[in-house]
Amino acid sequence: MKAIFPGALIYFVFCLMPVPVRAADADTVVIQPRSSWSADEPRPYKQHELTRITVHHEGGRILPPTADAGQRLKNIQIWSMGPARNWTDIPYHILIAPDGTVYQGRDVHTVGETNTEYNPEGHLLISFLGNYTQQKLDEHLLEVLTDLLRDMCLKYDISPDQIATHRDYSAQTTCPGEDIYSYFKSGYIIKEVKRKILLKDQ
């Protein structure tokens, strides 16, 4: 019988040790289920492994914080699944309303959709409802975004360095709008997400 390499033995024993689950690892952002916006059942679509996170805005019309976000979500789904696009579901995985409420979009394990030339396979798509060339992120929305990005990096084992915006992948769009993009361009978002991830170890 071959001698077991000590390093391999140590690794084997380490793997058998229970991994403690800490409360700080839990999600900090509550995501409202699809039932909250009366989503229709999706059609089947191809699965993927998440490797990066990409931030969008809806574009087009602005959405005031007092508007009915659930109705807007439903309208996007109807348009997406109808003859205009014939997609299998709403195109984004997670959506953020102007009042900071976060909603579940399509199943995160299915590939998202895009009108532009990049391939969204492997991308977790987060989109703000409304138009952030005309609207502005307030402190609360910035907090929600960085908390959500932290949660998703931890949950799906994605490095914060793999967080970017739609326009970083496509020259055909200014998405996610000038205001949201300015916080990525300055480096604030990635830095803040890294800080929040480090907090869980303290």
Contacting residues toward Zn ion, per CB under 5 A: 56, 166, 175
Q: Which tokens in the block code for residue 164?
A: 């970017």
CB 123 to Zn ion: min, Å:
10
CB of 175 to Zn ion, least distance (A): 3
Both tokens assigned to 11: 């690794």
Instruction: Map residue 11 onto helix, strand or coil.
Output: helix
- Least CB distance from residue 129 to Zn ion, whole Å? 12
* Least distance between Zn ion and beta carbon 91 (Å): 9
Nearer to Zn ion, 58 or 151 (CB): 58
Cα-Cα-Cα-Cα dihedral sign, residues 182, 184, 187, 190? positive
Quote the CA–CA distance of 193 and 137 in Å, as a whole number.
16
CA distance 124 to 166: 11
Pick the closer one to Zn ion by CB: 95 or 175. 175
* Identity of the residue, 141 or 196, whose beta carbon is nearer to Zn ion in the bound complex: 141
Long-range contacts at 137-140 (CB < 8 A, ≥ 24 apart) = 137/179, 137/180, 137/183, 140/100
From CA 105, how far away is CA 34, in angstroms rounded? 7
Cβ proximity to Zn ion, 120 vs 196, nearer residue: 120
Question: Nearer to Zn ion by C-beta: 42 or 176?
Answer: 176
Total length of the chain = 202
Q: State the minimum distance, in angstroms, from the CB of residue 165 to Zn ion.
A: 8
- Would you say 86 and 14 are in contact if contact means Cβ atoms under 8 Å apart? no
